[in-house]
Structure 1
Amino acid sequence: MEELTLTTPALLFSAVSLILLAYTNRFLSYAQLVRLLRDRHMEHPTEEITMAQIKNLRQRLILTRTMQQLGIGSLFLCVISMFLIYINLQLLSVYVFGLALLLLIASLGVSLREIQISIRALDIYLSTMEKEKK
């Protein structure tokens, strides 16, 4: 196995930073959706649709929080791995970096699940509009 250098974990910095930015943007859009949903519900309460949307948004917020936590954990472990390389603890740095990669993979997996739920949310909106047209 080749020796792990400082540049290897450093390469993940830009990727993880961009992923965290995307996750934060998702969270902000969900917060806006929650506020909009609340306002609409106060004006025109529709129990069935509103409850389905609330359940969906709650799931998506939990998943987004999990994605962010895993991404931050991955970045944190990359920094620790770089520090371990710096103080010449090569073998330990390899294991810590491997754990960082696993957290990043988990974060991306949760992101995939969140996208599936987001699609279901859009289906709720589309079915509502279809019912109104009929």
Structure 2
Amino acid sequence: MEIDLTTPALLFSAISLIMLAYTNRFLSYAQLVRTLKDQYRENHSAVTAAQIINLRKRLYLTRAMQVTGIGSLLLCVVSMFLMYIQLYMVSVYIFGLALILLIISLGISVREIYISVKALEIHLSDMDS
């Protein structure tokens, strides 16, 4: 089975939507950082400190998700260019790398979701006492 120029192009819309979701997530974290910082300055609670630690992990994971997603998109473009200049075998391997980066990005996203759920559990923990 051979791939043509349209095969990597099919991932453009998917990767673009994923990147939009990652960017929205990052922007909401930026707002949350500001809020938590203000809360921690007013009251050094253990819950707020735990939230900040959790949020730091999520920020690093979001950065990794964005970098691997952008890398995937970049390799799709490179793959298309290589097909255009008729280096088909190299383009197939580059496209394979793009797919691997996308898989990694999505895997990191799943991990980040689990950590986000933990953040909500921390937030709700002070209601139990």
Q: 2:121 aligns with which of 120, 123, 127?
A: 123
Q: CA RMSD in A?
A: 0.8
1:105 correspondence with 2:92: no
Q: 1:63 aligns with which of 53, 57, 61?
A: 61
Structure 2 alignment gaps of length 5 or more = none
1:42 correspondence with 2:24: no
TM superposition shift of 1:87:
0.3
Q: Structure 1: which amino acid aligns with 2:22?
A: Y
TM-score, normalised with respect to structure 1: 0.93
Match of 1:31 in 2: 30
Q: Structure 1: which amino acid aligns with 2:93?
A: Y
Q: Percent identity?
A: 67
Q: For the Cα contact (< 8 Å) 1:4–1:85, is it kept in 2?
A: no
Structure 1 alignment gaps of length 5 or more = none
TM superposition shift of 1:42:
2.0
- The separation in 2 between residues aligned to 1:83 and 1:64, in whole angstroms, is 29
Q: How does 1:74-89 map to 2 (within 5 A)?
A: 74-89=72-87
Q: Structure 1: which amino acid aligns with 2:64?
A: T
TM-score, normalised with respect to structure 2: 0.97
Match of 2:49 in 1: 51
Deviations 1:17-76 (CA, angstroms, capped at 9, x unpaired): 000000000101111111011111222221x22221111000000000000000000000
Deviations 1:72-117 (CA, angstroms, capped at 9, x unpaired): 0000000000000000000000000000000000000000000000
Give every structure 1 segment of 4 or more consecutive aligned residues whose post-TM-superposition deviation is greater than 3 Å: none
Q: Structure 2: which amino acid aligns with 1:4?
A: I
